[in-house]
Amino acid sequence: MTSKAIINRLATGVPGLDEILGGGLPEFSFNLIAGQPGCGKTTLAHQMMFALATLERPAIYFTVLGEPPLKMLRYQQQFEFFDTAAVNRTIRFVNLSDDAMTGDLNLVLKRITDEVTTHAPALVFVDSFRSVVLAGETGGNPHNGLQQFVQELGMLMTSWQATTFLIGEYFTETDGNPVFTVSDGLIWLRQTVQRNSMVRKMEIVKMRGQSTLPGLHTFRIGASGIDVFPPARVDVPTAASLNALLHAPRLLMGVPGLDDMLGGGLPRGYSLLVAGPSGSGKSILAAAFLAEGAREGQTGVIAAFEQHPNRSRSRSVADLIASGRVGLVENRAADLSIDEIVYMLMREIRRLDATRVVIDSLSGFELALAPTFREDFRESLSNLVTSLAAAGITVLMTSELEDRYTDLRFSPYGTAFMTDAIIVQRYIEVDSRLRRVMAVVKVRASAHSDQLREFSIDAQGIHIGKMLTHHEGLLGGRPTGKPAARPVGVAVTDPDG
Amino acid sequence: MQAFDQSKEDASSDIAALLAGAVSDGASARQVAGMVASAFRGIDQALVPIIGQRGVAALYKRSVHLAKRVHPWLPRPREGVHPAMDVSALTTELALQAPAAAAAAGDHLLQTFCELLIGLIGSSLTDRLLRPVWAILLSGASAQESTP
């Protein structure tokens, strides 16, 4: 038995919040929820309260000046977490506006003390705290009254074994506000606007006694309340898991001939970039990859970021989604953050225990992001790919590639370095016709074909044809016939492999 | 006496039935006014701790304003530094009417107040907050009825 006090951690009931808090909220802590008006402070407080309050752990929500309680209830009751049956049972709302209007902080403190000692709540919320202070300001240093008030409140709440939240509008973190010093936890909510996009972010500035996830974490307020999106954890694969992946059978692509070109299919846990110009057949290749998985009893997830999903999605993918063998992640909401997309993706992967993932396309993915996240795109994508690979998931990403015939590019993002395998598709002009060619550019640590193969697309999918050995300069876009053309070879495997 | 039902619609129609029943049983306007007054005092007690004196007073003022279209004699709540429900003025005025008119106006005012609250915070939360008020009111009436 230990002689040290054990600090229980409460599950907040806000998806993702416990993770960024570093394992939940310390019981009996004295916390501050700060941020500008409209950033979701009251909603966060309510969501936690409804999740935490029980008959054994009742809550009191003090409303002071500021948002009229009637209006607060009007908006909060719309959220799914707002359980009216809990009101006046496990949750009591107490209005202190009449006391606060007197400007006497001692009166407010007395009312709070009376309520707390009478009802012994385990959870106490004071909203808005700042208005208590404003009401008490009578000239001089506004921090004096505040400091005393907060210290007394903090002392009272801790000794009465109440986990407390002061909700307040604070505009700057640097004004040396004594509340920040007294509080055990400081949750700062922000909203940033760039062009026409608005993004909400949360920062755990401080949480005594535990290690929180640093930085700004995006969150969204929807009908169910607040969802926080912690960054995807990058798990470093163990030697054992890498070894297991290495010896696992490779994944088949669902396109006859392509597996041979890849040296026998795609190694499990690899990320494959399919790059090509618009209409070259990248999405069809991705659909074949998912369909092949389904044929083998594997589930998949597609993150689809097309402008017109219904128009461009292939029938086979639509059927797979409808049958539940492939999960769909779409950019329905505006101003997505990478963490949010990754969160949705991982949720689908876990739900379906998926082993194949398609991101179609990287260009659409980037466009779906709020402008403020675009500069982090490459780094976040790299994290995503690493996390998926560590989980043994095989990823196929498509990338729009502008057809340039003067240089050989595989990706507009410099994403090539982070992928394990690359397939490139190109258009070429032969006999006044636009024809397609495909090549496997890279399969990390594996032999693969170096052939540039013509391919065609019909209702059945992609058909890989022969090498155009009687032409040269294919990648320049305008091949020329060789003077002495020989019959076309059909070798599909790398001579070295 | 009908059993108290948990849904708001039934609860307020119970109140309407309670008032109408009292009138047909020969209750005076003063008695009807007393019943309406206890309903509003109950509402005041239930809501003031949650939405504050001013919040309740504002709702009451709006309800009177709306109900005055049908019952123009209803007294306007007094203005002042500390606005509150003016139940005593309402009681006095209701007592001056014929019992049926007092019951109709009292019921209309109560209904208007509830509808206003439902419009703002939804029927579920309104019911949750006001259910005990109706329960006390109806059980009180029921107790009176059962008294020999």
pLDDT digits (tens, 9 = 90+) for A113-162: 999 999 999 999 998 776 666 655 554 455 556 777 788 888 888 888 89
Query: Does the beta-carbon distance from B125 to A88 stay under 8 Å?
Result: no
In chain A, which residues have their Cβ closer than 8 Å to the Cβ of B49?
A: 92-95
Region of poorest pLDDT, from A179-188, A228-237, A252-261: A228-237
What number is the average pLDDT over the span A449-460? 89
A97 touches chain B (CB under 8 A): yes
In chain A, which residues have their Cβ closer than 8 Å to the Cβ of B120?
A: 70-71, 73-74
For residue A103, is pLDDT > 80?
Answer: no
Query: In this predicted structure, what is the pLDDT of residue B42?
Result: 94
A83 touches chain B (CB under 8 A): no
Query: In this predicted structure, what is the pLDDT of residue A460?
Result: 86
Nearest CA in chain B to A75: B121
pLDDT tier, B27 (very low <50, low <70, confident <90, very high otherwise): confident
Nearest CA in chain B to A73: B121
For residue A112, is pLDDT > 60?
Answer: yes
**Distance (Å) from the C-alpha of residue B55 to the closest C-alpha of chain A?**
7
Mind listing the pLDDT tens digit for each residue in A321-348?
A: 999 999 998 876 667 788 888 888 888 9
Rounded Cα distance, B122 and B139, in Å: 25
More confidently predicted of B28 and A468? B28
pLDDT tier, B129 (very low <50, low <70, confident <90, very high otherwise): very high
Rounded Cα distance, A218 and A215, in Å: 10
Nearest CA in chain A to B125: A84
Q: Is A347 helix (H, G, I), strand (E, B) or coil?
A: helix
Query: In this predicted structure, what is the pLDDT of residue A278?
Result: 85
Radius of gyration of chain A (CA): 29
Reference A342, options A352, A353, A331; nearest CA is A331
For residue A194, is pLDDT > 90?
Answer: no
**Distance (Å) from the C-alpha of residue B122 to the closest C-alpha of chain A?**
7
Sheet containing A433-443, strands listed edge to edge, beginning at the edge strand earlier in sequence: A326-330, A300-304, A356-360, A394-400, A271-276, A421-430, A433-443, A452-458, A461-467
For residue A359, is pLDDT > 70?
Answer: yes
Find where tokens 């009751």 sit: A77
Query: Does the beta-carbon distance from B54 to A94 stay under 8 Å?
Result: no
For residue B148, is pLDDT > 60?
Answer: no
**Distance (Å) from the C-alpha of residue A86 to the closest C-alpha of chain B?**
9
More confidently predicted of A272 and A231? A272
Rounded Cα distance, B143 and B133, in Å: 15
Q: What is the mean pLDDT of chain B?
A: 84
Among A73, A75, A83, A125, pick the best mutation site for testing chain B contact (most B Cβ within 10 A): A73
Instruction: Give phi and psi for A235, each to the nearest 5.
Output: -90, 130
Rounded Cα distance, B9 and B13, in Å: 6
Tell me the one-letter amino acid at A8.
N
Q: How far, CA to CA in Å, does A35 sit from each of A129, A187, A188?
A: 12, 8, 6
ipTM of the shown complex: 0.81
Given A71, A84, A92, which is nearest B125 (Cβ)? A84
Mind listing the pLDDT tens digit for each residue in A392-451?
A: 899 999 988 776 666 666 655 566 677 889 998 988 888 888 889 999 988 988 889 888
pLDDT tier, A309 (very low <50, low <70, confident <90, very high otherwise): low
For residue A97, is pLDDT > 80?
Answer: yes
Rank A242-256, A372-386, B124-138 by mean pLDDT and report only the highest.
B124-138
Mind listing the pLDDT tens digit for each residue in A264-301?
A: 999 998 999 998 888 888 999 999 999 999 999 999 99
Among A60, A75, A84, A99, pick the best mutation site for testing chain B contact (most B Cβ within 10 A): A84
Query: In this predicted structure, what is the pLDDT of residue A489?
Result: 43
Q: How far is CA A141 from the centre of its chain?
A: 43
